[in-house]
Amino acid sequence: METDTILIIVSCSTIGILLGYIVAKALEKNNASKIIKNAKEESNSIIRQANAEGESIKKDKLLQAKEKFIELKSEHEQIILSRDKKIAEAEKRTRDKESQVSNELSKNKKLSQEIEEKIKDYDFRLEFLEKKKEEVDKAHKSQIRQLEVISALSAEEAKSQLVESLRQEAKSDAMAYIQETVEEAKLTAQQEAKKIIINTIQRIGTEEAIDNCVSVFNIESDDVKGRIIGREGRNIRAIEAATGVEIIVDDTPEAIILSCFDSVRREVARLSLHKLVTDGRIHPAKIEEVVQKTQKQIEQEIIEVGKRTVIDLGIHGLHPELIKLVGRMKYRSSYGQNLLQHSREVAKLCGVMAAELGLNAKIAKRAGLLHDIGKVPDSEVDMETPHAILGMQWAEKYGEKPEVCNAIGAHHDEIEMTTLLAPIVQVCDAISGARPGARRQVLDSYIQRLKDLEDVAFGFNGVNKAYAIQAGRELRVMVESDRVSDEQAANLSFEISQKIQTDMTYPGQVKVTVIRETRAVNIAK
């Protein structure tokens, strides 16, 4: 019984599961059909909407195409109208020109007729004049024959006697007039010359700028002095070696003294110190870098100074090399007088004096500014040529006018003066140099002695740089390490000292220091 009951229960359960499965499948099929039906309805609605939107877009595009066509058509019509208008205007101008040409032709025809009539009239008058001339010549000859018969002299003899008498009378009158003119010129020439010179000097007022050999570099505090000196003085030695300027650090509060006869070196040292102190990093490598940059800056500043000078004086068309030479005069002195200030003053004096004499003031200014450019030579070879001749050669090389070149070369009477401009430049140069306190002979000879001292060192092989420092009591020479050995450096020091001792005259003693430095530089990339 229990077994039958279990079988019945199992069979009933199986039948129930089968019935449930069948019902579930039927329900799932019913749901799937509903979903498919709904999807078909949604797709149909989407298609209908897409068709409707396509129709609306199509209509919009057609409308836009029609509007664009109408717009292009109107633009084309306007272009055609403008072209027609231009063609009509051109035809009108052509008709006007044709009418003008026809009028001109008719006028020319009338003029040609009038000219022909005048030519006929002139021919008739010319024939009449020729006949009258022949009659006058016949009457003149008959009168001459009658006079010859009356005076018993020929026409040539009478003419020669008359000419001789007139010549003697004119000669005596001319001599008397010349004598009176010379006497009057002697009385007034000196007075007029003094008047012109005094007026010229009074109209030119310039400051006297006297160059010296010392510059003062101001610092904020004395703590900076120690940084400039560096450990065991290595920084100050590097500055002196790079610039050739003696650095004097003493008890003067908030100041360092820069001593050098060459004002360019002093300016390079001053600007380099200013940059180093401002930057704060002071060491030998940085010092060399800053000095090199400063030297390039000074070169550019020299060109700017030359440009400003020629603009201030109203001088145009000056060659760039001459402008550079003018700028370099700022850092040169002549007998203690700043060369650029002296040349500017001479240029102004020449302009005023030339205007007083009725000459070209602009050319006179040009010659006055350039008269001393030979004092800023580029090489030792140029230094052997007199500065007036060297300046004239440069002016000729860079296309200056002959009168300017002659004025430059003749202002110290080294060549003959060929124009009035040359004596004007000479006089104005003397006026500028003769001002009280304008020049100091001792300073110029001192600077020349230091330059000669440096030139002695450059006469030996292997010398790279040479600086005269401590007022000429020391000559510091830098040599090329690959050309001069340590033993040769010692011999070179001895040879230079012997050369100075035999060839130069100097007070006291001169210490010759030869510096040889070896550097190995490589770059990691």
**Domain-located, residue 112:** no
Average pLDDT of span 280-293: 84
**Domain-located, residue 222:** yes
Confidence of residue 137 (pLDDT cuts 50, 70, 90): confident
Range scoring the smallest mean pLDDT among 32-36, 174-178, 462-466: 174-178
Same domain, 379 and 305: yes
Which of 382, 399, 434 is the C-terminal boundary of a domain?
434
Q: Is 385 helix (H, G, I), strand (E, B) or coil?
A: coil
Taking a C-beta distance cutoff of 8 angstroms, is the pair 383, 358 a contact?
Answer: no
Same domain, 369 and 298: yes
Confidence of residue 405 (pLDDT cuts 50, 70, 90): very high
Same domain, 258 and 368: yes
Confidence of residue 517 (pLDDT cuts 50, 70, 90): confident
208 has pLDDT over 70: no
Average pLDDT of span 43-70: 85
Same domain, 415 and 452: no
pLDDT per residue over 467-478, tens digit each? Answer: 887 767 788 888
What backbone torsions phi and psi does residue 238 show, to the nearest 5 degrees? -65, -40
**Domain-located, residue 497:** yes
Same domain, 398 and 503: no
How far is Cα 237 from Cα 485, in angstroms, rounded to an integer?
22
**Domain-located, residue 394:** yes
Which of 401, 434, 467 is the C-terminal boundary of a domain?
434
Q: DSSP letters of 67-114?
A: HHHHHHHHHHHHHHHHHHHHHHHHHHHHHHHHHHHHHHHHHHHHHHHH
Same domain, 375 and 395: yes
How far is Cα 247 from Cα 160, in angstroms, rounded to an integer?
91
- For residue 150, what pLDDT is reported? 64
Confidence of residue 153 (pLDDT cuts 50, 70, 90): low
pLDDT per residue over 245-282, tens digit each? Answer: 887 777 666 778 787 777 778 888 888 888 888 877 88
What backbone torsions phi and psi does residue 509 show, to the nearest 5 degrees? -120, 155
**Domain-located, residue 182:** no
- The whole-model pTM stands at 0.46
Q: DSSP letters of 213-235?
A: SEEEEE-S-THHHHHHH-GGGHH
448 has pLDDT over 60: yes
The CATH number assigned to the domain holding 489 equals 3.30.300.30
218 has pLDDT over 80: no
How far is Cα 261 from Cα 256, in angstroms, rounded to an integer?
17
Which residue matches tokens 């129930």? Answer: 16
**Domain-located, residue 18:** no
Which residue matches tokens 């010692």? Answer: 490
Which of 414, 434, 454 is the C-terminal boundary of a domain?
434
Q: Tell me, what amino acid is at 99?
A: S
Output the average pLDDT for the chain.
79
Same domain, 351 and 415: yes
Same domain, 428 and 449: no
Tokens describing residue 91? 């035809």
- Which residue range is the domain that position 450 belongs to? 444-517
The domain total for the chain is: 2
Same domain, 365 and 463: no
- Going by C-alpha positions, the residue among 251, 253, 254, 269 that lies closest to residue 214 is 269
**Domain-located, residue 161:** no
Strands 255-259 and 214-218, by their bridges, are antiparallel
**Domain-located, residue 417:** yes
Same domain, 453 and 430: no
